Chains A and B, each alone.
Chain A
């Protein structure tokens, strides 16, 4: 019974953690997008860095969103 209670709390915490990570990722995505929109410059270095930042954001998105879904469907 106690083990179930702990497990249940633990799972709840995990779900909350995922929610927190997704929220922060969403803030990050929005801010990077707005930053790009407002920068409006043709500096190749800046563009390169922004492109890399977007690549990494995509990787993080996959880890946070796709991996838990994959576990679930398995």
Chain B
């Protein structure tokens, strides 16, 4: 045997230390088997041994081996036949053949039949280390791929469950909630007839607001199921952005009148063109306007504005309010699904009431739609003074 470095050569098993790599060495000569055991021990591996191909296959039946080293010239069953049977019955097991120079042709033949690699005699520690290292990396990569595939399958399965649940519950939950609300209203009327202690009124208040919250969640479920649609194919076309603002203004001004909020718009006189999916972009801007409506108190102001910057060739579409604003430490969170600024402060039932509830998917939807358009969404806010949300789009000719 040739001299070796006294420094223990490391085999890279860092990827997944928890993954075991069982190694089997098939070699007919007892002394050679012993030397292989010592060599692998030196490299940091405990190996099992078998004296011929037949005995090796028996061992494989009883225990999974990820790597098999086999000599080619052996009695009873030679290395090539052993290789064929291993690859046939245990395709994931990697086989590395050990061969003398005289049988190099057989080694090449072995490679053609699926061997991972071959090692020539006299066996070099360094060569074994390199081949083993590569083999382990290959096995780990395969396991990682399998894990990713399994995760992906699980994700698809969960997505399927989600779709089924939302389809079913969006319809099914409405009925019991409506009945619940009906009986609760009857109960409230019945209790009005008799004197009730303060505690009862408190419970009634909690029940009322909880039923409202749940109804709101169910109402918003379809938004959730539609969320991923926004990143799918957009039906983009050249569109005059002033028109989009006017559409939204007409549809929403009555809600602002109800809340006694001054709702106005300012269009750009150059009437800029942008490349957008008008329906989806309108949905995004409506969410921003609804958000402004929710967080602006009575007698407040909300301004919808379009501005073209010719130098930068950009169109700024902004929704500004003088509402409650967003605390600076919360600015990074508002585009996360299910985040609502008022969560810790207030609960209300309606989307249009001041600080009214929702399930907090609105702004994350705006972000997804904006990103799908390759546009930018910015927010400036001062607590107590108001917020400005701006969608920045490229102007087109």
Contact = CB atoms under 8 A, between A and B. Distances in A.
Contact of A2 (B191, B227, B231): B231
A67 B169 contact: yes
A67 B337 contact: no
B197 A24 contact: no
Contact of A16 (B173, B228, B337): B337
Nearest to B175: A59
25 contacts: A6-B231, A10-B159, A10-B228, A11-B155, A14-B165, A16-B338, A24-B217, A28-B211, A31-B203, A32-B207, A35-B200, A39-B196, A39-B200, A43-B190, A45-B190, A46-B187, A49-B183, A53-B180, A56-B179, A56-B180, A57-B180, A63-B172, A71-B160, A71-B164, A71-B165
Interface residues of A, number: 44
B205 to A, nearest CB: 9
Interface of A: 2, 4, 6-14, 16-18, 20-21, 24-25, 27-28, 31-32, 34-35, 38-39, 41, 43, 45-46, 49-50, 52-53, 56-57, 59-60, 63-64, 67-68, 71-72
Contacts of B176: 56-57, 59-60, 63
A46 B200 contact: no
B178 to A, nearest CB: 9
B159 A11 contact: yes
Nearest to B168: A67
Contacts of A52: 179, 183
Interface of B: 152, 155-156, 158-162, 164-166, 168-169, 172-173, 176-177, 179-180, 183-184, 186-187, 190-191, 194, 196-197, 199-200, 203-204, 206-207, 210-211, 213-214, 217, 221, 224, 227-228, 231, 337-338, 359, 361
A39 to B, nearest CB: 6
Contact of A7 (B159, B180, B206, B224): B159
Given A10-B162, A71-B164, A63 B173 contact: yes
Contacts of A38: 197, 199-200, 203
Contacts of A4: 152, 155
A25 to B, nearest CB: 7
B184 A53 contact: yes
B217 A17 contact: yes
Contacts of B231: 2, 6
B186 A20 contact: no
Given A56-B183, A59-B176, A21 B214 contact: yes
B148 to A, nearest CB: 10
Contacts of B161: 14, 68, 71-72
Given A14-B224, A63-B173, 16 more contacts: A10-B162, A10-B228, A11-B159, A13-B361, A21-B217, A31-B203, A39-B196, A43-B190, A45-B190, A49-B187, A50-B187, A52-B179, A56-B180, A60-B173, A60-B214, A63-B176
A27 B190 contact: no
A72 B152 CA distance: 16
Nearest to A2: B231
Nearest to B152: A4
Contacts of B194: 41, 43
Nearest to B148: A4
Contacts of A20: 217, 338, 359
Please list the 5 inter-chain residue pairs (A to B) with the smallest Cβ-Cβ separation, ordered nearest first: A14-B162, A49-B187, A56-B180, A35-B203, A71-B161
B200 A17 contact: no
Contacts of A49: 183-184, 186-187, 190
A56 to B, nearest CB: 4
